[in-house]
Structures are given as structure tokens and as C-alpha cells.
Amino acid sequence: MNIGYYPGCALHGSSVDYETSVRACMKALDVQLDELEDWICCGATAAHSINHKLSVALPARNLGIAERMNLKQVFAPCPMCSMELKKASDELHADPNLCAEISEIVETPLVGTVDVWNLIQVFQSVGYDNIALKATGKLDAFKPACYYGCLLTRPPKTVNFDDPEDPTSMEELLSKLGASPVDWNSKTVCCGAGLTLCDEAGVARQVRKILQDALDSGANCVVTACPMCQVNLDMRQADAKKLGLAQDVPIFFLSDLVSLALGLTPKDLDFQKRYVAIPNELQKA
Amino acid sequence: MSNPNPDLKARVEELANTRLSDCYQCGKCTAGCPRGDVMDVPPTRIMRAVQIGNVEGAARADSIWRCLSCLTCSARCPKSVNVSGVIDALRQISVENGYLSSSSVKITEFQKSFLRNIRRNGRTNETEMGVDFEVRYFLRRFDVMNALNTAALGPKMLTRGKMHFKLGSPVKDKALVKRIFEKCGVEL
């Protein structure tokens, strides 16, 4: 399978380990990634807080690049990027005048033929059963709390993915690979990553609340498909411990666990870059 | 309370692409808000203020800058009102009119540093953005503890290869990115 690939800024910065993990996993699944030529930032929260038009234009530029490259699907591993790309696409579809104006602003004709996928949707298109067939080991030791955060399922009409209150697509995949995902309450509670440099105290409280719920529900790790959730839950865990978080919680990317099941090693996945050390029993399937 | 301003109310509806009169004050947005407990004016009351035309009062509230943009309120609204979109619109109006509350300075400075960084590089260079933000914020507030707290992250990130002084693959057409910002009328 060949799909377009929009890494987004985080995967070239503080979440380089996510890009390593995603690329290793896709290679193991024979999914070829065609990176968008000269892609630019999607604008994230800052753009839509300060200038609405900019928040459409920046993602639209990337959609235009994908159209020029004749790509039918673009995989954006960061849910913020994939949501912003989808939202811009919807707005351009809904309003021909806006579409014409934005096409002019971004100097690229926009037609609106590109589908945007998150990480889980890539796994779904490969097929959970096909992934399980390729697996060389079982994730027996893993009792993950699957964490969706905000933007994988919200806004529901834009992302049109899973149940916004009780999503289960990660649990289904990981169960097929031998893991025992726990049932828990905080799977869609915001971790506050967007304000991690602006409101440290508030963010630490969110992180503690979420991770303590994971522990209380019997999890031995948290799995996410978002670079900002991962880095925030991982890096801010020291602050959460000061607020009473009982113990370390290793934070994985979904692609890490799939990769381990496919026989890849911690070195292939940059585990040494994580803030909270990953215990030996969770380093292999 | 300031005077009702119908023009600003219409602008909020347009920016948020939602109908303000649909809100019937059930409070579900506030009940599910992860930040409701630290807000001076919670989402339900923000909605009411805007409904009766007190856009300026709502745009001056500290709470619109406490919002995490997690979209739980919009997803759960029984009338499908885009509550988080209304908060976004109020932030934009607040920035345009200089209505900033004292605790919003840090967040708006951060967002401006973020956007300046994209305008310059096309992609975020987190190290450069972080330094730009911390220096500007320090110069406005002389907040020594904040500078030290953030500086403490540096070594942690460096030793994990998570801090980069140059972009791995820089954008080639940076001039285009600058033109996009200009044409959208972004002033930073």
C-alpha cells in the first residue's frame, strides 16, 4: 500500500521517537509513505486562536500539495494535524467562496479530493486481522490504558472516527495482538498538552488525574496515538508525582506496541528517548 | 457590564459558524469542562453573555484563556452549539482589541511566538520558538521562576535528542509562507 505522509512539526522535533516508531512500523507492514513535498506547519491551536483564515490556509496549502502529487490519502500521525487538515477540507467544501479565496492565498488550486487518515485508520485499512497474521509475538505482558485524548475523536463531525465518548478502536487492535487493555474512565479527557509551557501547574493536575485513573484501573502502561499527549504525559510525570501520582507509568505510542508484536526491538523504536524508563518486561512481545 | 454590541455578536456567530440563540443554558458544557474549576466565567455563562450581546465582557474574561481547546463542550452540547468555536472567536476579538486579562499574557505571547516561528521557518523549530517565547515573556513580566522552570526542561530534552537547533528538513519556499501570513492579515 502507498499513502501520502504528512509528518507535522512535532515528529521532526520533540517527538522524533514517534516518527522513528511510525516509519519502522509502516515498513514492517509494507506500507510505503510518500512524504508531502515541502509541507508546512498546520498552524495548530495558535492559528485558530488568533486568526481564523490562517487556520484554514495553512492546512489547505498541504492539502493542495497532496492534490498536486495525486495522492488520494494523506496519513498524519499527529491527531492535531489530521484534525486541522480535515477541518480545513470541510470548510473549503462547504463554502465555494472561501475555497476560491484560500486557493488564491495559498497559491495552489484546491479541489478537495484528499482523504486524511490518523494512525489507527492506517491500521484499519491494513486490516487488524492481517496485522495479527504478521505478528511474531504476543503482547501478553501489556495491560494498556488506551488513551485517545481530544482530537482523535473530536470534533466528532469533522474527524468522523469512532465513538467520541467511549472509543474502542485501539483496544480492539491491541486485544488481537494479545494485550489485555483495561476498562477506564479517562480515555478522552484532555491532558492539557497545548498549554504545557504556559500553565505548568494546571497541566500537572491533568496528567496526575489521567495517569492515576490508569493505575487505579489496573493498567501497567498508557498507549496513545498522539505525539503531544505522549510527550506531555511522559515529560510532565515528574510534576504529577509531586501531586501524588503513585508510581511511574510508561507511555507508549500505539505504533510501538504494534511494532513489538511484529518483532521489532526497542532500539528500532527509540525507547531510550522516553522520559519514564520502560521496564524490561514491556520491551518485547 | 459594557454595552451590547450587535456587530460583535454577529462576528462571533460568523467566526464560530454557530447559532448563539440555540443555547438554552443547560450547563452541560461547564459540567464536562476539564478546566471549569479554575475559570472565572465558565462556558455556560460565556455563552449567556454573548447571547445578550455582552461580547466585550466575555472577551475580557480570563476563562477563555484557561480553555484547553479540548472540544468536549462542543461535542457534548445537546443543541450542537460550537461552544469552543465561540471561545476561539472571543480570543481573536480579545487579541484584536487588546482586551487581554493579566493571566492571558503568557498564552498569547506563546501563541504569537509559535506563529512568528512558522512565519519565519514554515515549520516549528521548537527550540527557537521556546527561546523566543521565554525571552519575550521574561521581558514583559520579569518572571524568574517561569524562566528557570522552562530552562530545567532543556537538559532533559537535550540528553534524549529531543531538542534541535536546526530543522531537520527546512521548508524550501519560505517566501510563500510569509505571503500566506500577510494575505490573511496576521499581525504579530
CB proximity B178 to A under 8 Å: no
Residue A36 has pLDDT above 90, yes or no: yes
Residues B91 and B120 in one domain: no
- CATH code, domain carrying B86: 1.10.1060.10
A119-168 pLDDT, tens digit per residue, is: 999 999 999 999 999 999 999 999 999 999 999 999 999 999 999 999 99
Residue B145 has pLDDT above 80, yes or no: no
Residues B128 and B177 in one domain: yes
**Among B46, B71, B97, where does a domain finish?**
B97
Residues B120 and B76 in one domain: no
Residues B115 and B92 in one domain: no
B28 in a structural domain = yes
Q: Do B70 and A150 touch (CB under 8 A)?
A: yes
Minimum-distance CB partner of A195 among B71, B75, B107: B107
Minimum-distance CB partner of B123 among A17, A40, A49: A40
**Among B71, B97, B123, where does a domain finish?**
B97
CB proximity A140 to B under 8 Å: no
B87 in a structural domain = yes
Residues B108 and B93 in one domain: no
Residue of B nearest to A164 (CA): B75
| Domains of chain A with CATH codes | 2-119 (1.20.1050.140), 132-282 (3.40.50.11810)
Q: Do A275 and B167 touch (CB under 8 A)?
A: no
CA distance B126 to chain A (A): 7
B1 in a structural domain = no
H-type alpha helices, chain B: 6-16, 28-31, 43-51, 55-59, 63-66, 72-76, 83-97, 104-121, 126-141, 144-159, 174-183
Q: Enumerate residues 148 to 177 of chain A having a beta carbon within 8 A of any beta carbon in chain B.
A: 150-151, 153-156, 164
Q: In the structure grid, which three cell numbers stand for residue A94, read together?
A: 462547504
Residue B136 has pLDDT above 90, yes or no: no
Q: End-to-end distance of chain A based on CA atoms, in angstroms?
A: 25
Residue B168 has pLDDT above 70, yes or no: no
Mean pLDDT of chain A: 95
Residues from chain B contacting residue A273 (CB–CB below 8 Å):
160-162
Q: In the structure grid, which three cell numbers stand for residue B151, read together?
A: 530552562
Minimum-distance CB partner of A105 among B74, B122, B183: B183
The answer to whether the CB of A190 falls within 8 A of the CB of A206 is yes
A194-237 pLDDT, tens digit per residue, is: 888 788 889 999 999 999 999 999 999 999 999 999 999 999 99
- From edge to edge, which strands make up the β-sheet containing A32-35? A32-35, A2-5, A73-75, A115-117
Give the residue, B1 or B45, on which the prediction is more confident. B45
Q: Do A50 and B149 touch (CB under 8 A)?
A: no
Residues B91 and B111 in one domain: no
Residues B93 and B115 in one domain: no
Residues B45 and B71 in one domain: yes
> Residue B164 belongs to what domain range?
104-183
Residues B37 and B118 in one domain: no
Q: Number of folded domains in chain B?
A: 2
**Among B72, B97, B122, where does a domain finish?**
B97
ipTM: 0.91
